[in-house]
């Protein structure tokens, strides 16, 4: 597999990364959906990475350099794909493209049993979040939702979270320790959802819920722990339609 490392197209085995495209050390990363070589919201992902870079004093390349590398990575790729862009603290950067299998089944999720510190930046290594996801799967669930030290629901293991409570679609605010997801913000900007804290005690009031991410878009949740939820197909279609009509980079 070819990757773009520091603007050079090389084999993944020649780059200082794992076979699945993770750079060594620490840094910033973005995951972007690709469909038939078209990337969605690349400019928004770059802007988020730049904000994190500014906050953490990490240098990242220019947007034009990233666009050129992305074009080289996705050129001629057909079907659904996943693009991972990583910027390490030592100023190395990598663009890698992988096939992506769409998730079609609704998710059963559990409440993660441990308090998870909030994370407002998308950083690697990502092992703690992958660990939450794997632990949920080992317990017989598809995913998990995390809770902060104030007892408020934050997000999924690797996704944002939105729930219908008393007829209102609500997503936890970034002040509760939530990553400012691209799809999440798109829905807020278009007034489909609002940001407000969701106490763990409100789980019993949740009628429907989704996991949100650039890859999954709107992944419906069928149950939280042992409580069945209603599947809101109409809201899912609203989200997907909004994403389709929004700009492609």
* Domain CATH number, residue 94: 3.30.470.10
Per-residue pLDDT tens digits for 71-104:
999 999 989 999 999 999 999 999 999 999 999 9
pLDDT at 248 over 80: no
pLDDT at 64 over 90: yes
Examine the fold and report which residue of 82, 99, 116 is the final residue of a domain before the chain moves on: 99
CA dihedral 114, 129, 80, 2 (to 10 degrees): -160
Domain housing 84: 2-99
Q: How many domains does the chain have?
A: 2
Threshold 0.85, pTM exceeds: yes
Q: How far is CA 119 from CA 71, 123, 124, 177, 235, in A?
A: 30, 9, 11, 5, 27
Q: Are the beta carbons of 53 and 27 closer than 8 angstroms?
A: no
Q: Does residue 175 come out as left (phi exceeding 0), alpha (psi in the -120 to 50 range) or beta?
A: alpha
Residues 188 and 212 in one domain: yes
Q: How confident is the model at residue 229 (pLDDT cuts 50, 70, 90)?
A: very high
pLDDT at 247 over 70: no
Q: How confident is the model at residue 209 (pLDDT cuts 50, 70, 90)?
A: very high
pLDDT, residue 119, reads 84
Q: How confident is the model at residue 164 (pLDDT cuts 50, 70, 90)?
A: very high
134's CB contacts (< 8 A; 6+ apart) are none
Mean pLDDT over 143-154 rounds to 97
3-state secondary structure of 52: helix
Residues 218 and 146 in one domain: yes
**Average pLDDT across the chain, whole number:** 96
Residues 71 and 159 in one domain: no
Examine the fold and report which residue of 99, 127, 147 is the final residue of a domain before the chain moves on: 99
pLDDT, residue 198, reads 98
Q: How confident is the model at residue 207 (pLDDT cuts 50, 70, 90)?
A: very high
Question: What's 124's domain CATH number?
Answer: 3.20.10.10
Residues 176 and 85 in one domain: no
Residues 95 and 135 in one domain: no
Write out the two tokens for 194. 């609002």
Residues 146 and 79 in one domain: no
Mean pLDDT over 172-178 rounds to 97
pLDDT, residue 117, reads 86
Mean pLDDT over 149-162 rounds to 97
Residues 94 and 111 in one domain: no
Mean pLDDT over 105-115 rounds to 98
pLDDT, residue 62, reads 98
pLDDT at 200 over 90: yes
Residues 158 and 75 in one domain: no
Percent residues over pLDDT 70 in the chain: 99
Residues 57 and 149 in one domain: no
Q: How confident is the model at residue 195 (pLDDT cuts 50, 70, 90)?
A: very high
Residues 176 and 241 in one domain: yes
Residues 68 and 139 in one domain: no
Mean pLDDT over 24-29 rounds to 96
Examine the fold and report which residue of 99, 131, 158 is the final residue of a domain before the chain moves on: 99
Residues 125 and 84 in one domain: no
Percent residues over pLDDT 90 in the chain: 95
Q: How confident is the model at residue 249 (pLDDT cuts 50, 70, 90)?
A: low
């Amino acid at each position: 597999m070819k990757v773009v490392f520091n603007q050079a197209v090389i084999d993944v085995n020649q780059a200082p990364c794992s076979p699945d495209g993770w750079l060594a050390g620490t840094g910033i990363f973005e995951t972007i959906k690709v469909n038939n070589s078209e990337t969605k919201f690349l400019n928004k992902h770059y802007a988020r990475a730049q904000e994190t870079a500014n906050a953490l004093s990490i240098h990242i390349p220019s947007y034009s350099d990233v666009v050129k590398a992305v074009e080289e990575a996705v050129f001629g790729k057909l079907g659904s794909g996943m693009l991972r862009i990583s910027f390490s603290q030592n100023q190395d950067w990598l663009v890698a493209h992988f096939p992506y299998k769409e998730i079609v089944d609704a998710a059963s999720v559990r409440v993660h049993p441990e308090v998870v510190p909030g994370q407002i930046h998308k950083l690697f290594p990502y092992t703690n979040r992958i660990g939450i996801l794997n632990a949920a799967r080992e317990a017989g669930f598809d995913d998990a939702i995390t809770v902060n030290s104030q007892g408020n629901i934050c997000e999924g293991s690797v996704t944002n979270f939105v729930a219908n409570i008393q007829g209102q679609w609500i997503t936890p605010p970034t002040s509760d320790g939530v990553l400012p997801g691209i799809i999440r913000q798109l829905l807020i900007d278009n007034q489909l959802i609002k940001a407000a804290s969701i106490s763990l005690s409100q789980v019993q009031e949740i009628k429907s819920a989704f996991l949100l991410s650039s890859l999954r878009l709107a992944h419906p949740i069928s149950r939280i722990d042992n409580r069945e939820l209603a599947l809101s197909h109409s809201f899912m279609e609203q989200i997907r339609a909004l994403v389709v009509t929004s700009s492609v980079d």
